[in-house]
Amino acid sequence: MNNYNTILVAVDLTAEAEQVMARAAAVAGQNGTSNLHVVHVIEPLSFAYGGDIPIDFSAIQDEIQKQAESHLRTLCEKYGVAAEHQHLVTGSPEKEIQALAEELGTDLVVLGSHGRHGFGLLLMGSTANGILHGAKMDVLAVRVGT
Ligand code: AMP
| pLDDT tens string 51-62 | 666 778 889 899
* Domain residue spans of the chain: 6-143
DSSP state at residue 51: T
**Distance from C-alpha of 71 to C-alpha of 77, rounded to nearest angstrom:** 10
pLDDT of residue 127: 86
pLDDT-derived band of residue 146, with 50, 70 and 90 as boundaries?
low
**Distance from C-alpha of 69 to C-alpha of 97, rounded to nearest angstrom:** 17
pLDDT of residue 143: 92
pLDDT-derived band of residue 1, with 50, 70 and 90 as boundaries?
low
Which amino acid, one-letter code, is at 42?
A: I
State the distance from the centre of ligand 1 to the C-alpha of 91, rounded, in angstroms: 13
Closest by CA position to 47, among listed 61, 34, 27: 61
20 lines ligand 1 (CB under 6 A): yes
DSSP state at residue 112: E
Cβ atoms 24, 9 nearer than 8 A: yes
State the distance from the centre of ligand 1 to the C-alpha of 58, rounded, in angstroms: 23
Ligand 1 closest atom vs CA 10: 22
pLDDT-derived band of residue 50, with 50, 70 and 90 as boundaries?
low
Residue 118 has pLDDT above 80, yes or no: no
pLDDT of residue 51: 66
DSSP 9-68: EE---STTHHHHHHHHHHHHHHTT---EEEEEEEPPHHHHHTTTS----HHHHHHHHHHH
* Shortest-distance Cα residue to atom 23 of ligand 1: 12
Query: Which CATH class, in words, describes the domain spanning 6-143?
Result: alpha beta
Cβ atoms 89, 100 nearer than 8 A: yes
**Distance from C-alpha of 128 to C-alpha of 139, rounded to nearest angstrom:** 9
Kindly state the helix (H) or strand (E) to which residue 127 belongs, with its residue range: helix 126-134
142 lines ligand 1 (CB under 6 A): no
8 lines ligand 1 (CB under 6 A): no
126 lines ligand 1 (CB under 6 A): yes
Residue 106 has pLDDT above 70, yes or no: yes
Specify which residues 111 forms β-bridges with. 141
pLDDT of residue 122: 54
pLDDT-derived band of residue 107, with 50, 70 and 90 as boundaries?
very high
